[in-house]
Copies of this chain bind each other. A is one copy, B any other.
Amino acid sequence: MDDRVRRHAEILVEDCTDVQRGDMVLIRAPKEAEDLVVALYEQLGEVGARPTTKWGSARAARAYNRAMDVGDYETKAHDLAAMEETDVVFLIGGGGNAFETSDVPPEKGQAASRSHGPILEERLRKRWVITQHPTPADAQQAEMSTAAYEDFVYDAVDKDWDAQREFQAQMVEILDEGEDVRVVSGDTTDITMSIAGMEGANDWGDKNMPAGEAFTCPVPDSVEGEVLFDKPLIRQGKEITDAWLEFEGGEVVDFSAAQNEAALESILHTDEGSRRLGELGIGMNRAIDRFTYNMLFDEKMGDTVHLAVGGAIEECVPEGQPFNESATHVDMIVDMSEDSYIEVDGEIVQRDGTFRFEE
């Protein structure tokens, strides 16, 4: 086994989630990530934790969803019961085919996602981390050789996370103290929102690995303007390109996409909260220097901003502040490398990808 797989597992168990003796650990992984699962089991045995692994097979999910009646989806009681008894969750990406669920009708993906809501809610109360095992299919998706893609993934993962945390803290402080945000890119994106009363958060590895963003939650009703997400996203096995949203009073009032607009529509129709923003994030991991069609990496890129429709993030919304509830959370990215700026309370904090505190 590649030594870097063991190092990856060590970072996940020690740095990201601090697994303790006796912890109930739930891993969800595709079969292509078996090496990382084996390395995790080795670490978890050394710690004396108790792991179980849920097999995420996209082929099985496709077969099931195609065969199901859209009205038959309900929360899986055994999955929910297992999650309730779990202390730590590892969600591992890395598949055999990113488009495996591309021929599932969107309304079924949406029903499945809705029925999963209570399990997601329960999971968010645990220590959890989302990560990625580099597979040939993911490398193909990134238009890279498998070896080069492995280098890319492990460079983004095996960092000095203390130093990265300090670098990000400068942007977190701005979000924490700021009230009004404006994001402008070219003549296609000009969106404003309030973050007054919300808390800035530092993504240093406790939730995502690789980590590397500063983020907060907009006040749900405050979002106004339009945004063109010029980086594509893959959802429900579809590549959605040039997603465009227009907001009034916090709600999406118009939308379009150059490709797979129906998939975008399906996301927005999941529930009431999926038509409002749940997150404003600013990518700051400079080891991620290229777009790879994988949100876990893409949203951390140095000169990007991402907005998510759907559920807000608990750590950013203090008691008494409005919390956007939703069964979904879908990130979408704006390229900020050219002709772009982020303004907080009337001051430019980033221009063309360079932060004020970097100048």
Contact = CB atoms under 8 A, between A and B. Distances in A.
Interface of A: 21-22, 24, 26, 29, 31, 34, 37-46, 48, 50-55, 57, 59-61, 63-69, 72, 74, 76-86
A43 B41 CA distance: 32
Contacts of A37: 55, 57, 60
A38 B24 CA distance: 28
Given A44-B64, A57-B34, A52 B81 contact: no
A109 B84 CA distance: 27
A69 B48 contact: yes
Given A48-B69, A76-B50, A42 B64 contact: yes
Q: What are the 6 closest A-B residue pairs judged by CB atoms, nearest first?
A: A45-B67, A55-B55, A31-B31, A82-B82, A41-B64, A81-B81
Contact of A38 (B26, B59, B68, B69): B59
A51 B64 contact: yes
B34 A60 contact: yes
In this complex, the member of A21, A24, A50, A53 whose beta carbon has the largest number of chain B beta carbons within 10 angstroms is A50
A53 B42 contact: no
Given A74-B22, A77-B85, A81-B85, A59 B34 contact: yes
A60 B108 CA distance: 33
Contacts of A29: 55
Contacts of A66: 42, 45
A103 to B, nearest CB: 13
A38 B63 contact: yes
Contacts of A45: 63-68
Given A55-B53, A64-B44, A67-B42, A85 B74 contact: no
Contact of A50 (B53, B55, B74, B83): B74
23 contacts: A22-B74, A26-B78, A39-B63, A41-B60, A41-B63, A41-B64, A42-B63, A44-B67, A45-B67, A46-B67, A48-B69, A48-B72, A50-B76, A50-B78, A52-B78, A52-B79, A53-B54, A53-B55, A53-B57, A55-B55, A78-B81, A78-B82, A78-B83
A31 B30 CA distance: 9
Given A21-B72, A38-B63, A42-B67, 5 more contacts: A31-B55, A39-B63, A41-B57, A42-B66, A78-B83
B68 A52 contact: no
Contacts of A61: 41
A151 to B, nearest CB: 25
Nearest to A61: B41
